[in-house]
Structure 1
Amino acid sequence: MKNRIRVLRAERRWSQAELGDRVGVSRQAINAVETSKHDPSLSLAFKIAEAFDAKIEDVFDPHGEPD
């Protein structure tokens, strides 16, 4: 699943660890989702979108192929 996490993090100057702290997961979990090695649970996807104050579909594209 394609996502915009890296771009959204960069806009806010957040590290993976900082985003992880904000949503309650490890930096490694954020890295796995961001690099499309792991699809997030629905709950985590909503938490990530909420952290960015965005709609879930603005962060994740379930039809997009990862880069």
Structure 2
Amino acid sequence: MPHRHHNETVYFHKGGQLTITEENGESFVANVPDGHVMWHEAWAHRVSNTGDTEVVAIIVESKVSRHEQ
């Protein structure tokens, strides 16, 4: 399902193979290792687990102030 995030940090407790489709329709495959940490600016995307293992991620996003809503 397509969705949006504010600026975010993601910790992959369990990594795996993910296919990420960006808002413009372009896709790429990411092979994420266990324990990987990434930071990303605000974006819209869709993520699919295209591997054969469970992926567990913890996402921490920047809080949006009232004037940004």
TM, length-normalised to structure 1: 0.31
Structure with higher strand content: 2
Structure with higher helix content: 1
Q: Which has the larger radius of gyration?
A: 2
